[in-house]
Amino acid sequence: MHPLIKGLLTEPTVVTDGAWGSQIQNLGLAPGECPDNWNLVNPAAIEQVASSYVAAGSRIILTNTFGANRIMLERHGLSDKAPAINKAGAMISRKAAHDKALVFGSIGPTGKMVFSGEVSESELNEAFAEQAVALAEGGVHGFVIETMSELAEARIALKAVQRLGLPVVVSMTYDSGKGFERTMMGITPEEASEELKVAGADVIGANCGMGTEYIVSICSRLRSTTNLPIWIKPNAGLPEVIDGKVTYNSTPESFAGYALKIQAAGANFIGGCCGTNPEYIRALKRVLSQKA
């Protein structure tokens, strides 16, 4: 096990952070604007989001770089800014974290699928390697490859960032199939667990998806197939569209109640994905530290 992960696991459950996108929107991101570019054009707002999670008690915070691979940035004509956006994102989170939290660099999917030939393995490898190098230059302590639905892409990303010697979490999104137990590409937790272990992930996980209720069984299924530490970040309940706006059917308290079930199902790291905010993390911290 990577020494940094081993050190963290002396705590019963490590509390991570919550959603960034919605927080950035609350601070004025325009519809269609690239949130990752705010690392360069509005760093104070990004630091505010990062600091809000540190204040809420997150032991690990991420970086505002989920969509900052050059393939995703191409949609905004910002590919060439990929190194600068990632390095700045890491530096902003490090500044906000001080010595209170660790910073893991967020690496999301490229939005293109290997199986359909939309993108080649070498293009993916180059994009992820570029992102990871810049995040490491900015000072991240580890990486979270997250919201993945295709195992090929997850494996290529893992391979590209592993070379830097920092710990890597690989987290898939299970939001499809009966009982929302498969990724969009049909991958089960058992398949992901097996393949990602062989590929050398330090931590495996599940994030986003259909909320707290469904992720408990995903976590149990990951736990039944691996001894690796498990990282879980559910959305704040089931997404519903009300008046054209996506909302989530949970409160910080009900969310934190599920965290106990997720902990019992074997998770070592727990945080929140879409729809969560610092209040959710505060509730999570309260419930998990009462238990410990």
Query: Closest separation between CB of residue 65 and Zn ion, Å?
Result: 15
First to last CA, the chain: 23
What one-letter code names the amino acid at 72? M
Query: Closest separation between CB of residue 212 and Zn ion, Å?
Result: 12
CB nearer to Zn ion: pick between 26 and 120: 26
Give the dihedral of Cα atoms 46, 52, 53, 59; nearest 10 deg: 110
Contact region with Zn ion (CB under 5 A), list: 94-102, 179-187, 202-210, 220-228: 202-210
Q: Is 148 in the site for Zn ion (CB under 5 A)?
A: no
Nearest CA among 150, 147, 231, 230 for reference residue 191 = 150
Applying the rule CB under 5 A, the residues between 249 and 288 that interact with Zn ion are 273-274
**What are the DSSP calls for 214-262, one per residue?**
HHHHHHHHHHTT--S-EEEEE-SS-EEEETTEEEES--HHHHHHHHHHH
Query: Closest separation between CB of residue 274 and Zn ion, Å?
Result: 3
For 276, residues 6+ apart whose C-beta sits below 8 A from its C-beta are 18, 19, 235, 236, 255
Query: Closest separation between CB of residue 134 and Zn ion, Å?
Result: 23
Query: Closest separation between CB of residue 233 and Zn ion, Å?
Result: 7
Q: Is 208 in the site for Zn ion (CB under 5 A)?
A: yes
CB nearer to Zn ion: pick between 87 and 233: 233
Contact region with Zn ion (CB under 5 A), list: 31-39, 64-72, 87-95, 201-209: 201-209
List residues near Zn ion by CB under 5 A. 208, 273-274
